[in-house]
Amino acid sequence: METAFVLISCKVGTSDAVTKKLQLIDEVKEAIPVWGSFDVVAKVTASTREELRDAIRKKIRTTDNIRTTMSLMVTENQT
């Protein structure tokens, strides 16, 4: 299982709506609104690194009101 934490910046005032949309994506195991440099942190898992990359690129980054993302890949055997 491959895992990444995705740090997400949203358009102003949209973090709650973005969080709810992210929670509907199968690969997103958790989506939590936060304060600071980013607005939402999402834990994303998939069977392979390619599936993980596709979920981030094609499902998360295309979600309405997301401005930027930063993906942090979990190193092997750490989850």
Amino acid letter for position 10: C
Residue indicated by tokens 């934490």: 5
pLDDT at 76: 75
Kindly give the confidence (pLDDT) of every residue in the chain, 79 residues in length, as a single tens digit, with 9 standing for 90 and above. 999 999 999 999 999 999 999 999 999 999 999 999 999 999 999 999 999 999 999 999 999 999 999 999 998 765 5
Q: Which of 21, 22, 26 is nearest to 6 (CA)?
A: 22
d(CA 59, CA 45): 13
pLDDT at 13: 96
Q: Could you please state the CATH topology (level 3) that the domain comprising 2-73 is classified under.
A: Alpha-Beta Plaits (3.30.70)
Model pTM score: 0.92
